[in-house]
């Protein structure tokens, strides 16, 4: 079936390639045309991957390069490898890359901060030097390299058949080892991607209620900074020392209420905040606490004469 | 056609991949550059197989593909776990073992 597929697509790649795979000599002008179209495209894809800003664009440029490489494999009579390239690389691996890109946020661009000074320039020079070295070696070796072609090697069983024969005889043990490698990789990926969720013991509703009943306070704790005793905006706010914030109640309308609360403080009917207790605790309960008598603050507050005490807290008035 | 052209293309792609590994800061793009280098080497393998008239190069290219697939799976899982703990996929941010 794969042989059918390969012949179908080789004709689809063009009449250019078909005589090449038929003759296999590799001395066709058709192959040259394919190479000079597809090779620059592969280079373009690689350069685009290198210079594009977004990671998704890089991935798509790399897909172009890999497709082109697949076509180049097919023109070199390695049809099976060409299709495996397109299916495995562009179909599976690059899609995996795109999945991870979407998981990590696609706009996570490169940071432009240069950690090592001149590192990019040095890297570019190094790459140029590497390419120059490789190309120089190849130019030097051009004349001595043989060019046999795969025609004789695949004459007996066909392209895929001879590949299979080689894999399942000569390379059988490495082939089996790759299965172990793939299983190890799959297990490793699962271990790395697994998030351990710690099991917390959930308290039942009944236990929560019982615990609250046994505690000092049955009502929920107030929010941070809130000591309101009523929903009225006539209720004055308490300063940290237990006195009344003079600016917290409107002077024009609610003066009487704040003065009323201040009077209750002065008469010792209310105790100031001393710990997490409610500020409006009755005094009888407050006596149980040690030193509550000294802690009573006489608020120097009234709307009219709140100048000196309230000066520090003018900022809270708005 | 002289197959040396394929080897030249392979060398160019390998160089571009190496530069990408060195200059890109996003770990995923660095990984893509490594894939590009593997592909370039695969192209050389296929070309050498064709030049020698021997299928061994093609088979080794297949093995390289399998190893690359396994490597991608594990590498991307590592990148994901780093991203989960550092909220960043940049290679500069994974620096806890630096000093």
Which residue in chain B is spatially nearest to A69 when comparing CA positions? B43
Q: Which of A78, A89, A193 sits opposite B77 (nearest CB)?
A: A193
Pairwise CB contact (< 8 Å): B19 & A35: no
For A123-172, how does the pLDDT look when each residue is reduced to its tens digit (9 = 90+)?
999 999 999 999 999 888 877 777 788 888 888 888 889 999 999 999 99
Q: How far is A230 from chain B (nearest CA, A)?
A: 44
Total beta-carbon pairs less than 8 A apart between chain A and chain B? 242
Residue B47, pLDDT score: 93
Residue A17: the pLDDT is 43
**Helix or strand or coil: residue A219?**
coil
Instruction: Determine whether the interchain pair A166/B84 forms a contact, defined as Cβ–Cβ distance below 8 Å.
Output: no
Residue of B nearest to A174 (CA): B63
Sequence-distant contacts of A271-275: CB under 8 A, at least 24 apart? A271/A242, A271/A295, A271/A296, A272/A238, A272/A241, A272/A242, A272/A243, A272/A296, A272/A297, A273/A227, A273/A238, A273/A240, A273/A242, A274/A242
Q: Is A23 on the interface with B (CB under 8 A)?
A: no
Of A155 and A99, the structure prediction assigns the larger pLDDT to A99
What confidence tens digit (pLDDT) does each residue in B64-91 have? 999 999 999 999 999 888 888 887 788 8
Give A66's contacts in chain B (Cβ within 8 Å): 39
Class of A2-107+120-148 per CATH?
A: mainly alpha
Domain layout of chain A by residue ranges: 2-107+120-148, 224-318
In chain A, which residues have their Cβ closer than 8 Å to the Cβ of B42?
Answer: 69, 81, 85
Q: Do A167 and B15 touch (CB under 8 A)?
A: no
What pLDDT is recorded for position A168? 93
Whole-number Å distance between alpha carbons of A93 and A80: 18
């Amino acid at each position: 079936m794969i042989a059918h597929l390969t012949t179908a697509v080789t004709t689809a790649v063009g009449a250019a390639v078909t005589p090449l795979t038929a003759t296999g000599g590799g001395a066709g002008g058709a192959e040259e045309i394919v190479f000079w179209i597809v090779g620059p495209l592969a280079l373009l894809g690689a350069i685009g991957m290198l210079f594009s800003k977004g990671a998704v664009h890089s991935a798509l440029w790399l897909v172009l390069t890999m497709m082109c490489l697949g076509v180049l494999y097919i023109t070199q009579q390695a049809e099976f490898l060409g299709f495996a390239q397109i299916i495995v690389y562009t179909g599976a691996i690059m899609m995996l890359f795109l999945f991870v890109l979407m998981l990590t946020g696609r706009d996570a661009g490169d940071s432009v901060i240069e950690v090592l000074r001149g590192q990019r320039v040095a890297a570019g020079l190094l790459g140029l030097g590497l390419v120059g070295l490789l190309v120089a070696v190849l130019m030097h070796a051009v004349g001595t390299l043989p060019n046999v072609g795969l025609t004789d090697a695949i004459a007996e069983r066909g392209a895929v058949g001879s590949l299979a024969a080689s894999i399942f005889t000569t390379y059988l043990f490495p082939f089996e080892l790759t299965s172990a490698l793939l299983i190890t990789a799959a297990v490793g990926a699962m271990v790395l991607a697994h998030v351990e969720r710690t099991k917390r013991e959930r308290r039942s509703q009944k236990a929560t209620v019982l615990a609250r009943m046994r505690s000092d306070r049955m009502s929920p704790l107030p929010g941070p900074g809130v000591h309101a005793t009523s929903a009225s905006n006539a209720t004055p706010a308490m300063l940290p020392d237990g006195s009344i914030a003079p600016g917290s109640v409107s002077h024009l309308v609610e003066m009487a209420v704040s003065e009323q609360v201040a009077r209750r403080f002065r008469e010792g009917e209310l105790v100031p905040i001393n710990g997490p207790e409610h500020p409006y605790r009755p005094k009888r309960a407050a006596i149980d606490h040690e030193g509550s008598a000294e802690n009573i603050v006489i608020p120097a507050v009234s709307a009219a004469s709140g100048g000196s005490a309230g000066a520090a807290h003018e900022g809270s008035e708005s | 056609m002289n197959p040396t052209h394929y080897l030249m293309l392979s060398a160019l792609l390998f160089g571009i991949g190496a530069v990408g590994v060195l200059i890109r800061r996003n770990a995923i793009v660095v990984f893509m550059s490594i894939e590009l280098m593997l592909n370039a080497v695969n192209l050389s393998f296929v070309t050498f197989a064709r030049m020698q008239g021997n299928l061994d190069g093609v088979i080794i290219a297949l093995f390289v593909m399998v190893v690359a697939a396994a490597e991608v799976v594990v590498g991307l899982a590592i990148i994901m776990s780093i991203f989960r703990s550092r909220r960043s996929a940049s290679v500069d941010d994974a620096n806890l073992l630096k000093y």
